[in-house]
Structure 1
Amino acid sequence: MGLGGTVLQWLQSFLEGRSQMVKLGDTCSDPWPLTCGVPQGSILSPMLFNIYMKPLGEVIRGFGGRCHLYADDTQIHYSFPSDSKEAPRMLNQCLAAVADWMRRNKLRINPDKTEALLVSRSSDRGIGWQPVLDGVALPLKSQVRSLGVLLDSALTLEAQVSAVAGRAFAQLKLVRQLRPYLVKSDLTTVVHALVTSRLDYCNVLYVGLPLKTARKLQLVQRSAARLITEASYRERSTPLFKELHWLPFIFRSQFKVQTIIYKALNGLGPTYLRDRISYHKPARSLRSSGEALLSPLPASQTRLVGTRERAFSAVAPRLWNSLPIEIRQAPTLLAFRKDLKTWLFRCAFGE
């Protein structure tokens, strides 16, 4: 990792010389020296554990897979054609190498808590094989939870939207009981903390969803606006959003995506997102050459699988190119966010 000298000595002194014991009532066991592991609750521990786990990524990439490491949770992504005979064997070899690396590095893998999801067209889901991890066959799930988001085998996100809407409405029901005891500003704060935060979490995934799916979350936002303003359920939500200066749900999601695009293009975001987009370079000089437009994906890459239209590489050029040039060329992130919200507000309410 390029560490040495005093910095390495600091880390060494942090990790060495530790021991643990068991306490039962007033009786303690003899201390037992620790030769591996990191102390729980420390700010440094998650980072040091990720450094320790870094070679596992090389193992997975050696079999053509990709991975995301979240502390002690590891996700493996493997892409292959539906008619591939080699892919299942390679995936099982990869899982065997992962289990072997874990054993050699004094880590325990838990097949019972490991889940497998096959994302494909419905016609390809009966492929008749199961991944095997450490001698245990992993059944293919219809949906799994990843960082709090429910992903299904068709990536429709219907289960995720229903779950978020259900929890948000439950919180609104509780907040409604507090309304007589709170002034409007405090009530707004509570609604943002318990309801709006749920709608905003990973809301970039909701861009491009069918209206019948997104409508469930729109209803939550409308109910929250009526709760704060004490409006009746018959009253239109548009004037309430304008009064509260809220962007409607769909526009809030677009705001988040466009902010991520700006960060990626200006070196403020992760490189793997920047690698998914590129500036448009026309074959000949055009008036639009200096407008910082992004190259859209070819239609052939999105028309066969509907979910690809919601991929970042497809959504980003469409949303970014729709912005006025002065917003795309904003000098700072703060200026971009301010101008973007004003523009989206005009688009949402026709002002």
Structure 2
Amino acid sequence: MQLNEGKTEALLIDPQNSPNLPLSITIGQNDICFSRSVRNLGVIFDDKLSMKQQVSKICQSAYLELRRISSIRHVLTVDATKTLVTSLVLSRLDYCNSLLSGIPQQLIDKLQKVQNCSARLIFKTSKCTHVSPLLAKLHWLPIAQRIDYKMSSLCYDVVSDTAPLYLSDLLCLYVPSRSLRSSADTRIFRIPTRKKKFQGQRAFSHLGPVTWNKLPYSVRHAQTQSQFKTQL
């Protein structure tokens, strides 16, 4: 294949602002400058992996859809509004949300405000209405728990041998060096050690086991995926 320089992007990830880094990469005869952010499968990655641009894009598109639904809310039933919000707004909040694991709380709060506005729109309540009962009535998990739900589901796919290899290769079951009381638990992942907190702490290979190991024994040892999700 011939490299199309006009459509080629390169991203150099440097969370620690290291000095004297190159400004471009040479591929063949082409010199490709590093971009501040790139899009992959609809997800925006920046050179700090902060996911700020991705969260801003999600909020922007979600609020646009909420304004459109709000303009016709007076002719919609609660069920019809819930269906529209679920397909046009909630789906955006859930898309690739496992990539948002470990991001700062202020970014989670931005996404939570979108979900809160969605719940209030469905029930036509004011901005001062406490949102927790509304979320419970809709059976919606808050944003942080939705992310943990996705991470746990991916981990279950790994232990049940239904995950793709590129995920299975990232996780290792914990095998104690000697017989312990916890040896009977065959569904615990080994948490890899990180020399630097800033690097790798949000990787699936680290946060996946951390999230999974916190689950109760009965949930981790569910026989089927449907049972697992119900208990989760």
1:289 to 163, 183, 195: 183
CA distance in 1, matches of 2:136, 2:27: 53
CA distance in 1, matches of 2:5, 2:93: 32
Instruction: Please name the residue that 1:111 is paired with.
Output: 5
Instruction: Please name the residue that 2:213 is paired with.
Output: 321
Seen in structure 2, the aligned counterparts of structure 1 residues 307 and 163 have a Cα distance that, compared at 3 Å, is farther
Unaligned 5+ runs, structure 1: 1-101, 103-107, 341-351
1:310 to 202, 210, 223: 202
Q: How many equivalent pairs are there? A: 231
Tell whether the 8 Å contact from 1:226 to 1:233 is kept in structure 2 after alignment: yes
1:268 to 162, 178, 190: 162
Seen in structure 2, the aligned counterparts of structure 1 residues 270 and 149 have a Cα distance that, compared at 3 Å, is same
**What amino acid does structure 2 have at the position aligned with 1:278?**
C
Taking structure 1 as the reference length, the TM-score comes to 0.64
| Displacement after TM superposition at 1:282 (Å) | 1.4
| Displacement after TM superposition at 1:117 (Å) | 0.5
Alignment of 1:334-349 (within 5 A): 334-340=226-232
Instruction: Please name the residue that 2:32 is paired with.
Output: 138
Instruction: Please name the residue that 1:64 is paired with.
Output: none
Instruction: Please name the residue that 2:82 is paired with.
Output: 188
Instruction: Please name the residue that 1:166 is paired with.
Output: 60
**What amino acid does structure 1 have at the position aligned with 2:71?**
Q
**What amino acid does structure 2 have at the position aligned with 1:328?**
R
CA distance in 2, matches of 1:212, 1:305: 19
| Displacement after TM superposition at 1:132 (Å) | 2.1
Q: CA RMSD in A?
A: 1.3
| Displacement after TM superposition at 1:151 (Å) | 0.4
CA distance in 1, matches of 2:118, 2:89: 8
Tell whether the 8 Å contact from 2:188 to 2:212 is kept in structure 1 after alignment: yes
Other structure's SS at 1:306 match:
coil
Tell whether the 8 Å contact from 1:111 to 1:134 is kept in structure 2 after alignment: no
Taking structure 2 as the reference length, the TM-score comes to 0.95
CA distance in 2, matches of 1:127, 1:294: 36
CA distance in 1, matches of 2:81, 2:42: 26
Task: State the 4+ residue runs in structure 1 displaced beyond 3 angstroms.
Answer: none
Deviations 1:250-306 (A, max 9, x none): 111111111111111211111121111111111221111122211111142xxx252
Unaligned 5+ runs, structure 2: none
Seen in structure 2, the aligned counterparts of structure 1 residues 125 and 227 have a Cα distance that, compared at 3 Å, is farther
CA distance in 2, matches of 1:122, 1:290: 41
Other structure's SS at 1:308 match:
coil
Other structure's SS at 2:230 match:
helix
Instruction: Please name the residue that 1:333 is paired with.
Output: 225
CA distance in 1, matches of 2:194, 2:7: 39
| Displacement after TM superposition at 1:307 (Å) | 4.7
**What amino acid does structure 2 have at the position aligned with 1:175?**
I
The structure whose Rg is larger is: 1
**What amino acid does structure 2 have at the position aligned with 1:316?**
G
2:83 paired with 1:220: no
Instruction: Please name the residue that 2:171 is paired with.
Output: 277
Alignment of 1:36-75 (within 5 A): none
Tell whether the 8 Å contact from 1:116 to 1:139 is kept in structure 2 after alignment: yes
